[in-house]
Amino acid sequence: MFKVTNESIEKHRTEALVVGLYEENKELQTIYQQLNDKLNGELDELVQSGDISNHNNSVSKVHTFSLIEAKRIYFIGLGKRDERTVHTVRKAFGKVFKQLSQDRIGQASIQLDSVITGEGQADYVEAIAESMAMAPHQLQTYHTERDEKSIELTNINYLTEQSAGVVEAANTGYALGNGANIARHLVNLPGNLLTASDLATFAENIAAKHNIEIEVFDQAKIEEYGMGALLAVNQGSEEPPRFIVMKYQGKEKWEDPVAFVGKGITFDTGGYSLKPKDGIIGMKMDMGGAASVIGAMDAIGHIKPNENVMALIPATDNMISHTAYKPDDVIVSMSGKTIEVRNTDAEGRLAMADAVTYARQNGAVKIVDVATLTGGVVVALGDQVTGAMTNNDDWLNEIKHASQQVDEPVWQLPYLDVYQKQVRKSHIADLNNSPGRKAHAVMAGCFVGAFAEDTPWVHLDIAGTAMADSEHDLGPKGPTGVMARTLAKAMMNVK
């Protein structure tokens, strides 16, 4: 998929040559000058006329008329060199990869030295490969007639004088981006085509691909483990629940695993606390946390970090029937803690409570959960930043560092005792699952945190960031696959 060569640009044969162009004196950009000379000064004319732009995120296409071996040159505007970051380059290349896909070009060459040379080059290559996977990604639809206007970009040749580590970095970046795409695909599937059983089958296929150990608990085994909170959510459904356990072993021995917990509510009606007609649309995305965890495990399977990782997914839908759980019910969780149900639409935290308990009881030294948990976090932070909570600042800092590396920002919400006490207020049980609307996102996180107890734990509420309202530089409108890359990157950072 990825190759590296130091072949000269005028002799390199390719259908599309991608060249970075900065907002600075073009005479100082050697590669631009080489191309301009070979094209008889025509590039200068195109720059002056505005047909070639060096402004950030611009893409300009030039036909070479056989004056060099490349058929076309795609100039990608990178803005001011001193303002360049990995993130600006990732987004800029997202735009050019979309254009290449729309132009039905499956193979291209990147003049890497026009983008960056020297220290840090591998980080930029990784980011470029992430955007190669993510930006042109197309979501599956079910139209009987589809006009395929674009194709998948499958091969990239990097032209550079410094080849060390380039292919490895590109493979890593592509694995991260493809992990996000897997999460996008799962979130995009309609609820009737992605039941808990279907989700488990998908996870089994990912595990088989990478030789990752997996066990899927059926309803009988879930009952055997006493996962009363997950079972309560499932009570109203005709679809049986599943509890998915994936184990990636990156160390010599299976010990001290990090646990990823992903909310796997494949469709959420709200139960008897029924969602309104406008609010129920789109609730196929309520398994976005599970999707991100599975996507992260696929990336980890490719990258093979030196860490033991346990992925846990409580999977069910939340439906209404004569058997469904109700407000005022009292249920017994796997931990033994009893829970007063005040809101059946606060179901994700119930299912995750049992998964977090399973993680603790099975040796997890750190836990991170990912969930489309609350509308409250959308009100607080919008759709660009993920809400985070923790009982351990060091563990949160590891997750935040990884999120910064892949440009999936998080913002810490308070995990204070005054809030923790409110989820423990019930006249009839140990906990209540919905203290009210005030500090809604915080209350939900505090409820999950009660089951983490003293194990280092980070909670990531992706209700706002799991979906994009419009097309963007790194993908289409719809599921974003957010946090799949962050989770995998966090495991890569372990030394």
Indicate if the alpha-carbon torsion angle 28, 30, 34, 36 is positive or negative: negative
Question: Percentage of the chain with pLDDT > 90?
Answer: 93
**In this predicted structure, what is the pLDDT of residue 200?**
98
453 annotated to bind ligand: no
pLDDT of amino acid 118: 83
268 is in an annotated binding site: yes
Of 275, 326, 342, 424, the active-site residue reads: 275
Q: What are phi and psi of 239, to 5 degrees?
A: -90, 125
pLDDT of 119: 85
Please give the share of the chain, as a percent, with pLDDT higher than 70.
99
For residue 442, give the amino acid letter.
Answer: V
395 band by pLDDT with thresholds 50, 70 and 90: very high
Give one word for 186, left, alpha or beta, with left for phi > 0 and alpha for psi -120 to 50: alpha
User: What 3-state DSSP class applies to 254?
Assistant: coil
Among 90, 247, 349, 400, which one carries the catalytic annotation?
Answer: 349
Tell me: pLDDT of 446 over 70: yes
Give the pLDDT band of residue 169 (cuts 50, 70, 90). very high
Cα–Cα distance measured from residue 267 to residue 278, given in angstroms and rounded to the nearest whole number: 15
| pLDDT tens figures, 3-53 | 999 998 889 999 999 999 999 876 668 899 999 999 999 999 999 999 999
pLDDT at residue 28 in the model: 65
51 marked among binding-site residues:
no
Question: Is 286 known to sit in a ligand binding site?
Answer: yes
Please check whether residue 308 is in contact with residue 366, taking contact to mean a CB–CB distance below 8 angstroms: no
Please check the confidence at residue 445 and state whether its pLDDT lies above 80. yes
Angstrom distance (rounded) from CA 408 to CA 376: 19
Tokens read off for 255: 């010990």
Domains in the chain, CATH or no CATH each = 2-143+153-159 (3.40.220.10), 175-492 (3.40.630.10)
Q: Is 275 a catalytic residue?
A: yes
DSSP state of 274: P
Q: Has 263 been labeled as part of a binding site?
A: yes
Report the phi/psi class of residue 270: left, alpha or beta, with left for phi > 0 and alpha for psi in -120 to 50: left
**C-alpha–C-alpha distance, residues 129 and 426, integer Å:** 51
Residue range 252-276: average pLDDT?
98
CA distance 190 to 186: 9
Indicate the pLDDT class of residue 202, thresholds 50, 70 and 90. very high
pLDDT score at 154: 85
* pLDDT above 80: residue 217: yes
E strand segments, 256-382: 258-262, 264-268, 308-318, 330-332, 338-340, 366-371
Q: What is the torsional sign of CA 194, 198, 200, 201?
A: negative
Least confident interval from 10-14, 318-322, 396-400? 10-14
Distance in angstroms (rounded) separating the CA atoms of residues 413 and 462: 13
Give the pLDDT mean for 243-269: 98
At residue 318, the pLDDT reads 98
pLDDT tens profile 58-82: 999 999 999 999 999 999 999 999 9
Dump pLDDT digits (tens) for 329-372: 999 999 999 999 999 999 999 999 999 999 999 999 999 999 99
Report the 10 Å Cβ neighbour count for 423: 24
- What the block records as the tokens of 119 is 């220290």
Lowest mean pLDDT among 43-52, 404-413, 448-457: 43-52
Residue type, 76: I
Q: Calculate the average pLDDT of the chain.
A: 96
Q: Please, which pLDDT band fits residue 407 given cuts at 50, 70 and 90?
A: very high
Quickly tell me which residue has 């047909």 as its tokens. Answer: 51
